[in-house]
Amino acid sequence: MSPGRRGRLPHVDARTPAVLVLTGPVTRDEVAGLCAAVRSLLDGGGPPGVVVCDVGGLGPPGLWAVELLARLQLAARRSGGRIRLRDPDPALPLLLDLVGLAFETEGQPEQREPPLGVQEAVEPGDPAR
């Protein structure tokens, strides 16, 4: 070990959000523990306000998954943060939208931002806005 490295703190990338891996189905007894985990990850000094929930292991979505994610989002909001979904089943965002819950998903542009590489074309003869 070189003398210059002794006593230095390890490098931590402050832009990397905390990740909570969810495997399912989750029982009602486990929900309180997962909510506590979200709160502790938000209070743990990671990037402000974001916990990524890897939902790829939840399996086919159902109303139990909607309730779980709603409770996790509520716990995150109460701690001043939010959750972002990673690797959801294609039906899960549709189900969440159907019940009126909006979740940010990794790999998708944020609202009010056009996807990268998309430019609006102007046709000759179009009236100015």
Tell me what the mean pLDDT of segment 81-94 comes to.
92
pTM across the whole model:
0.69
And the tokens for 35? 């909510």
Q: Which tens digits make up the pLDDT trace of 29-69?
A: 899 999 999 999 888 765 568 899 999 998 888 888 999 99
How much helix, strand and coil, in percent to the nearest 5, is found in the chain? 30, 15, 55
Q: Which tens digits make up the pLDDT trace of 99-127?
A: 999 899 987 655 555 555 656 666 777 67
pLDDT at res. 2: 44
Residue 33's contacts (CB-CB under 8 Å, 6 or more residues apart) are none
Q: Concatenate the DSSP letters of all residues of 1-55 into one string.
A: --TTTTTPPPP--TTS-EEEEEESPPPHHHHHHHHHHHHHHHHTTSSTTEEEEEE
- Please report the domains of the chain, with CATH numbers, ordered by start residue: 18-105 (3.30.750.24)
